[in-house]
Structure 1
């Protein structure tokens, strides 16, 4: 197409065209900024995910170590066979690949060295021949030893069996700090592990104290100390298992140890001695990151701190800007600029052609045809990028026209323009075919249409999830026509299923934690009652006898004795309060008695009137359900005291349709929506999790200024409650 000199002169002299040029330049700069902001946002998102993943993974590994310590707190005489079974059940290789070993180091006094070595040699709990060659390493006589006695898996860590960690001054100091403080301690430096399983690692340990011995101060902890449990971590495997491969493919991640969390630290350290992990030098070639130089330009850098046990780590994440911007983003600003210039020129040419009459009409039509084809190509590309296909169907002839992306979604080649309706249905999964057919057959013009998620089967047998949207209408001639879109949502479905499984696992873990917490409360309450309570009772008897003997002969001494007796009574009262707070003894008398006691305590502490309405028969529940229901009542009444500003509370407990229903109603200020959804509303969250753990239901009915009703439904067995008729009475006294 030739451009006349007159048109060029007119174009250059036109202020409208120059205005279009200016707008195109502004749009170009705006798109450049948007692309940069998008790359920065993507980098921040990936960096934050990497930090969260690393911190969560390390915390879960520390929880494994603490769980191992808890095993030894149940019984000081854990055998080698029990320890091996415990570690085997953890499935370290698949569940915690970054943990190379779990171990127990026993404290041995110098005088007990020979006897200790002999006992280990005779230990046949795992090996029938024992360990006849066992000896503490390194050899030599020392005042005390911290010997690695149990270590699993033994097959890959046999070289460490029998090592005295206290022989190394740095390790000895760390063990001493852990023993005296009772806190988890980290090696704080990289450990180069040799042998058949060479790696760079990190070690953490938790001290162990004898059951029943006080550990309130350093002297008591030293006296009660009998060893420690520890874990060895393979830094590379730990980090590579936590950080997403997508992050490693485009970013360089370096982890630095900056010291203990109670020390003064210099942020932003680059000291190689503090470098714990560098994805660019990873031992796994598959997951190795590009070696990005921190000093180069065109670089995004982010440093974040995280607390890991007793130490603080800094993660440095680097990525090239160019690696986060795809080719389309790079060219988009130029496409906008060129498109704007072309658009301005095209608009002016249309205007010019109208002024110069019909001579330009044919040429303009050709240009518009070209633009239309480009638009169709752009539409096809957009459908491909969005995984969204389209189709139309003539209901009378059942002939269908598919877009190119629809062919891709169904996994068939574009062999012809028109397909038949039956061929379309053949690609629908057999279990979903009738539903799709019925939706298409029953649809009428003017209906809302068909919108369903279903499965399709590709030619190679692959099953994919799609979302189909169909609208029933007509063409320009009034002939009935079906228009539909089909989107591949397989990835979204898989993500939702994974999220659902994760939520179920988290809920199971929460329920387990609640059970463990209740068991521990029960144990602590029993220990306080049996040990400390008996001791105080014996002490009070002795002081009472001393009071009787000094009443006449030593008045001044008798007054001191009476003061001591009063202190003892106050202490006993305090201990009883502590025991009741941990686990009220009234729970052992049944759920009804426990609820009545809690209501009485609520009235006494808060001064709020409270009516209790429940069956005259006892509710027979297992300990787990009874304890959970009691804790739910406790938490609900605590929320009333803290937040409701109520003057009256009604508690109802009854059975309904195989469920035990507890309804708590107050006349307080109600729950505001923003408060209900607040991130700090942990009380209600805890109540919901307890109820979900029992397969129950939790309903909140509330409005600002109109009070709140919390209703709990917990499934029970048909004979869990007596068969006597329910007669709800006010037992508030």
Structure 2
């Protein structure tokens, strides 16, 4: 071997170069892991924000569809709809503030070529001076017409009065198909918008039929149809409104309509049309948006660095530096230990003392963390109680008042307005469903029955379990089971019972459950047993499964003990015991020493 090789691999000299190489490898690995972790978290956050925007777009489309259906109901409620009443109806919607993407709402009258002279004569006889002179356009004879006769707001749309929207073949096909099917329609073809000529607009229409005529068959619907109510809205304004809640302003959103078979996707919207396409330095996700039988594809892209905080950008370098420093220190320690037995023994003693101190601090920290967890659990239960009370006192009362009003409306319209009565009854039914949902939410947050004591709460929960699962459940308690039990302990026992019954319902395949609650020698005990398939050991310690761990932790925080015994196909028994009157120490002094 050469002198250089002997110097590098000498057993009497420390191999510092090897330590540097290992430290660099560790630093590179930690840097890579931190970079991927930051990128993964940012990607997940961006995907969630994109999902929220997708939900907002779908919700806005549904809201505009509801506006259209409400307008159709207004026409079919009975009575004559004049220009003045239609103007007041649309004005009451306050489109500018409530539905900013809507351009206008209109009514198109349907008639055949044979009915055209009479229809034009009716329009020319109107002398309220609200609309300009009537003129059918585009001119020409067609078998059927769909002429705009009511438009709101009229300002900026006066020249649309008398427009035959069925003159365009694609629009006519969608209109008359919707008339024959009695369904809402959209041709999917962009329409011009007066309020924003550069924007892509979309239209939706719903047919209106005479109330006195049957509409069972296609021919009956054609004879009964008097026209359709429609609205046009701006796709850019719709998307901009949905993007308002996106915290990152540099997100680029493009919306394409890919529903036309054999045609390239139509570009409906692009928030940054002059920017180049997204590359590998961008997060990109594409989500579908449903628009009445058509599928739009919303593509979201954002530069990765726009989602990184200052700490995120600094974290990989910090992890690499700390990994390098820690590796060098560990290697130096190894060399030091290997070089001298005396120094190794001395260092070992020092490390032992330091380890004991660290263990003592760790135990103290663990104890304080457990107290803090107990305090946090108490705060969570108090917050659930507060939220449940506010929902009951505020939302519950509002729903009750709303139900009374709806019931009065249903009663008063029972004989005079059958259709309005049916709508009122449907609304009343929906309010009742909402009230039941609110009650269920309140019970899920914190059942009021807990205020009556632990025994009453356990009995109520068991009754709910029987009703929900159909599993036979037996409850045994002694006369003083919940005597002296404070609210904190009662809540913990109730949550343990909730989790255990939920596990039995979902996983145990049991046919019989037995719950025992008793107080003896200052200890409150509860046992939940079933005759199900038992708990597999691997399943019990599966990563991401915290149900049983949560039970054990709740009881431990109360100074009690918990045992879970199970045999394959032999059922499971959960036993918990807590000293009555145990108080969790307050969390005011929970400051961990450095």
Q: TM-score, normalised by structure 2?
A: 0.55
| Aligned CA distance change for structure 1 residues 178 and 79 (closer, same or farther; 3 Å) | same
2:67 matches 1:67? no
Match of 1:201 in 2: 201
* Deviation, structure 1 residue 276: 1.2
2:471 matches 1:669? no
Stretches of structure 1 lacking an aligned partner (at least 5 in a row): 1-8, 282-289, 357-446, 452-495, 531-578, 585-622, 637-662, 679-702, 706-733
Match of 2:102 in 1: 99
Report SS of the residue matched to 2:272: helix
2:293 to 295, 301, 310: 310
Asked if the contact 2:203–2:233 (Cα under 8 Å) also holds between the matched residues in 1, the reply is yes
Higher strand share: 1
| Aligned CA distance change for structure 1 residues 197 and 320 (closer, same or farther; 3 Å) | closer
Stretches of structure 2 lacking an aligned partner (at least 5 in a row): 1-11, 340-370, 376-386, 440-459, 470-497, 504-527, 531-594
| Aligned CA distance change for structure 1 residues 351 and 175 (closer, same or farther; 3 Å) | closer
| Rounded Cα–Cα distance in structure 2 between residues aligned with 1:220 and 1:353 | 98
| Rounded Cα–Cα distance in structure 2 between residues aligned with 1:304 and 1:201 | 21
| Rounded Cα–Cα distance in structure 2 between residues aligned with 1:517 and 1:25 | 73
| Rounded Cα–Cα distance in structure 1 between residues aligned with 2:41 and 2:400 | 37
Asked if the contact 2:256–2:296 (Cα under 8 Å) also holds between the matched residues in 1, the reply is yes
| Rounded Cα–Cα distance in structure 2 between residues aligned with 1:509 and 1:54 | 31
Match of 2:312 in 1: 329
Report SS of the residue matched to 2:189: coil
Report SS of the residue matched to 1:32: helix
* Deviation, structure 1 residue 25: 3.5
Please give the residue correspondences for 1:589-668 in structure 2 after superposition, counting only pairs within 5 Å: none
2:321 matches 1:338? yes
| Aligned CA distance change for structure 1 residues 252 and 101 (closer, same or farther; 3 Å) | same
Match of 1:546 in 2: none
Query: Which digits, 9 at most, give the CA deviation of each residue in 1:468-509, with x for residues without a partner?
Result: xxxxxxxxxxxxxxxxxxxxxxxxxxxx9xx99xx969x869
Asked if the contact 1:670–1:704 (Cα under 8 Å) also holds between the matched residues in 2, the reply is no
Asked if the contact 2:108–2:228 (Cα under 8 Å) also holds between the matched residues in 1, the reply is yes
* Deviation, structure 1 residue 631: 11
Query: Which digits, 9 at most, give the CA deviation of each residue in 1:99-131, with x for residues without a partner?
Result: 00000111133344344334334435xx4x354
| Rounded Cα–Cα distance in structure 2 between residues aligned with 1:206 and 1:517 | 30
Query: Which digits, 9 at most, give the CA deviation of each residue in 1:280-336, with x for residues without a partner?
Result: 13xxxxxxxx72414x33333222223222322221222333433345323321221
Match of 2:234 in 1: 234
Match of 1:297 in 2: 280
Report SS of the residue matched to 2:227: strand
* Deviation, structure 1 residue 76: 5.3
Match of 2:126 in 1: 123
| Rounded Cα–Cα distance in structure 1 between residues aligned with 2:164 and 2:102 | 21
Report SS of the residue matched to 1:162: coil
Match of 1:175 in 2: 175
Asked if the contact 1:214–1:221 (Cα under 8 Å) also holds between the matched residues in 2, the reply is yes
| Rounded Cα–Cα distance in structure 2 between residues aligned with 1:101 and 1:513 | 35
1:57 to 46, 57, 60: 60
How many pairs are equivalent? 398
Report SS of the residue matched to 2:163: coil
Asked if the contact 2:132–2:161 (Cα under 8 Å) also holds between the matched residues in 1, the reply is no
2:92 to 82, 89, 94: 89
Asked if the contact 1:257–1:275 (Cα under 8 Å) also holds between the matched residues in 2, the reply is yes
| Rounded Cα–Cα distance in structure 1 between residues aligned with 2:230 and 2:251 | 32
Asked if the contact 2:157–2:194 (Cα under 8 Å) also holds between the matched residues in 1, the reply is no
Asked if the contact 1:248–1:279 (Cα under 8 Å) also holds between the matched residues in 2, the reply is no
| Aligned CA distance change for structure 1 residues 252 and 674 (closer, same or farther; 3 Å) | farther
Asked if the contact 2:100–2:237 (Cα under 8 Å) also holds between the matched residues in 1, the reply is yes
| Rounded Cα–Cα distance in structure 2 between residues aligned with 1:147 and 1:504 | 46
| Rounded Cα–Cα distance in structure 1 between residues aligned with 2:56 and 2:85 | 32
| Rounded Cα–Cα distance in structure 2 between residues aligned with 1:291 and 1:338 | 37
Please give the residue correspondences for 1:513-662 in structure 2 after superposition, counting only pairs within 5 Å: 515=406, 519=410
| Aligned CA distance change for structure 1 residues 116 and 239 (closer, same or farther; 3 Å) | same
Query: Which digits, 9 at most, give the CA deviation of each residue in 1:523-582, with x for residues without a partner?
Result: 699869x9xxxxxxxxxxxxxxxxxxxxxxxxxxxxxxxxxxxxxxxxxxxxxxxx9xx9
| Rounded Cα–Cα distance in structure 2 between residues aligned with 1:56 and 1:192 | 23
| Rounded Cα–Cα distance in structure 2 between residues aligned with 1:674 and 1:107 | 61
2:295 matches 1:276? no
Relative contact order, higher structure (CA 8 A, sep 6+): 2
Report SS of the residue matched to 1:154: coil
| Aligned CA distance change for structure 1 residues 227 and 520 (closer, same or farther; 3 Å) | farther
Asked if the contact 1:257–1:312 (Cα under 8 Å) also holds between the matched residues in 2, the reply is yes
| Rounded Cα–Cα distance in structure 2 between residues aligned with 1:25 and 1:167 | 68
Match of 1:146 in 2: 146
Report SS of the residue matched to 1:192: coil
Query: Which digits, 9 at most, give the CA deviation of each residue in 1:143-185, with x for residues without a partner?
Result: 4321101110001222211101122222221211111011111
Query: Which digits, 9 at most, give the CA deviation of each residue in 1:25-55, with x for residues without a partner?
Result: 4322221221121122122112211211111
| Rounded Cα–Cα distance in structure 1 between residues aligned with 2:404 and 2:94 | 20
Asked if the contact 1:54–1:239 (Cα under 8 Å) also holds between the matched residues in 2, the reply is yes
| Rounded Cα–Cα distance in structure 2 between residues aligned with 1:22 and 1:309 | 56
| Rounded Cα–Cα distance in structure 1 between residues aligned with 2:106 and 2:143 | 23
Query: Which digits, 9 at most, give the CA deviation of each residue in 1:351-378, with x for residues without a partner?
Result: 999999xxxxxxxxxxxxxxxxxxxxxx
